[in-house]
Amino acid sequence: MILEIPDGYTFSNKKDPHSYAYEKEGVLYIKGKLPYEQLMYNLSFSLKNKKRCYYCGKKLNSKNRTLDHRIPRVLGGITLPINLEVACKKCNEDKDNLKTSQYEALIELSSEAQKSKLISEYKNLNEIELEKRGTCIPACWISINHRSRIYADIDLDTSYKGKRYSKIKTFYKKYHHLPRPIVVSSNNVLLDGYLVLMFAKNKKIKKIPTIVLENVIVE
């Protein structure tokens, strides 16, 4: 996947002046350790219209402006500009765990009974897709990477136990798939999904669904 990057884009970690990212000739170079989600949120705001809600057109300000996942996290949605839209808090909350295409169809209806029926249908369709693939994001975004090829600058401690890790275990037990792909740079450095990778290591899963950002290099 090619990450969309504005010309001359830069991002820095205020807590660590030695960690920053910069665009050069269409490539995003990352130095040091940067909080992945903050980087992607900042990049998304740089690329998109921040003045109006993508869904309802309402004027936005710093108090009611959010970023919504087009394909929600619970459906395997990842935090990348291609999967994010600037939205007001109300639309973000009303959309809940629907895909953007589903929510757009929903807001065209006026009858609450029709809306309720459609939501139920969409939830069933999404559940079927999770059972089949483990994620609702487009298959063309994902490649399969061998776990041994991924460089993770973290301790994949097998004794780790936390709520987020437990959710991955629960998801895998139910669907027999990892809950979302990991994200790596073009030089196979892990950017997002370390708990998924940790779980895969503990379960001895070698083939990992991966989104490779082909124009991102971690130095």
Give the pLDDT confidence of 18-49 residue by residue, as tens digits. 999 999 999 999 999 899 999 999 999 999 98
**Cα 71 to Cα 39: distance, rounded to the nearest angstrom:** 19
Q: How far is CA 26 from the centre of its chain?
A: 21
- Domain covering 139-213, topology: 3.90.1530
Q: Hey, where are the domains in the chain? A: 139-213
Question: If DSSP codes are grouped into helix, strand and coil, which group holds residue 56?
Answer: coil
Determine the average pLDDT of the residues in 150-166.
78
Burial class of residue 54, CB neighbours in 10 A (0-12, 13-18, 19+): buried
DSSP secondary structure letter of residue 51: S
Give the predicted TM-score (pTM) of the model.
Answer: 0.93
